[in-house]
Amino acid sequence: MKITTEMTRSAYAAAKDVYERITKLGDALDHLESDFGMNRGTANDYIYGFNKMMSGERYKRTFNSEATDYYFNNIYMDYGLCALRNALQAATAHVEYYEGLGRGNLNSIRSLIAEYQSLIFTEQSIYPDDLDEPEVLLEGHKKRVFVNSYERNPRARAKCVEHYGTTCSVCEMNFGEVYGELGQGFIHVHHLLPVSQLGKEYEVDPVLDLRPVCPNCHAMLHRRNPPLSISELKEMKKGIRPR
């Protein structure tokens, strides 16, 4: 059967809910079957595959490349770099398994894996501290606190930087100006809206909702939860405390 984009998105969401023990497997399968017309076996493969990606283990049933791309991207945004690394490991093992069966090759999946591997390399150089933080806080697989998933969306970040450039919105530091070629293009991106107030349908607007900030100012913005606003931090920096 043809797996539509809508099916992929719903299967990912359902797999995540099962993984986080928000939904039971049987209920998730019922939902994918009756609300999205997915074949129950396929729905099960998509949920099982997600679990294997999260644990870095080989899965046996192939997803199409659109679904694989969607899973990689969202695992990265929802769970961070270590989780993405696991997913790539699982997918690599899958490709080797599948190709070993002699039924053809999975070149499109291979090139996706390579693309995300280079993304890991880039992201590590932007958020080096990110790797040291625990990915999972015991119960419930909580997300990390510092860099939220909208700030880790590589596409949204690229658009934000394209619009605002790479100068810090708080202190106006520019790494290229200070460190020359080494610093060229380096900047964090901060998400302005409190994550707790965003609805399920929220999609980040890279120009309205994101701003480039240097890692120092970024850390200071997140010293409060919900984070300070850019103008509040600017005021503090000048030595004028708000109110």
Options 34-42, 108-116, 171-179, 196-204: segment touching Zn ion (CB under 5 A): 171-179
Residues 178 to 217 in contact with Zn ion, rule: CB under 5 A:
190, 214, 217
Instruction: Work out how close the CB of 211 gets to Zn ion at its nearest, in angstroms, rounded to a whole number.
Output: 9
Least distance in Å: CB of 182 to Zn ion?
Answer: 18
Measured from the CB atom, the residue of 13 and 171 that comes closer to Zn ion is 171
Verify binding: residue 168, Zn ion, rule CB under 5 A.
yes
The CB-of-222 to Zn ion minimum distance in angstroms stands at 5
With the C-alpha atoms ordered 204, 205, 208, 213, is the resulting torsion angle positive or negative?
positive
Comparison of 48 and 186: residue with beta carbon closer to Zn ion: 186
Q: With respect to Zn ion, which residue has the nearer C-beta, 23 or 148? A: 148
Q: CB 189 → Zn ion: shortest distance, Å?
A: 8
Burial of 147 (0-12, 13-18, 19+ CB in 10 A): buried
Among 170, 220, 228, 233, the residue binding Zn ion under the rule CB under 5 A is 170
- Which C-beta is closer to Zn ion: that of 88 or that of 233? 233
Q: Which is nearer to Zn ion, 171 or 198 (CB)?
A: 171
Cβ atoms of residues 80 and 152 within 8 Å: yes
Range in contact with Zn ion (rule: CB under 5 A) among 5-13, 65-73, 167-175, 231-239: 167-175
- Quickly tell me which residue has 């810090």 as its tokens: 168
Find the shortest distance in angstroms from Cβ 170 to Zn ion: 4
> CB of residue 142 vs Zn ion: minimum separation in angstroms?
17
CA torsion, ordered 91, 92, 97, 99, to nearest 10 deg: 110
200 vs 223 by CB, closer to Zn ion: 223
Specify the 3-state DSSP secondary structure of 61.
coil
Tell me how far, at minimum, the Cβ of 219 lies from Zn ion, in Å: 9
DSSP conformation class of 166: S
User: Is there a contact between 1 and 42 (Cβ–Cβ < 8 Å)?
Assistant: yes
In sequence order, the β-bridge partners of residue 212 are: 189
Q: What's the angle, vertex CA 212, arms to CA 206 and CA 195, rounded to 5?
A: 55
Nearer to Zn ion, 38 or 217 (CB): 217
Any alpha helices (H) in the chain, and if so which ranges?
A: 5-19, 25-36, 40-55, 65-79, 81-100, 107-126, 154-164, 175-179, 215-221, 230-237
Asked whether 91 and 53 are in contact (CB, 8 A), the reply is yes
Q: Which stretch binds Zn ion (CB under 5 A): 10-18, 28-36, 40-48, 160-168?
A: 160-168
How far apart, in whole angstroms, are the C-alpha atoms of residue 75 and residue 91?
A: 13
Q: Is 171 in the site for Zn ion (CB under 5 A)?
A: yes
Binding site for Zn ion (CB under 5 A): 168, 170-171, 173, 190, 214, 217
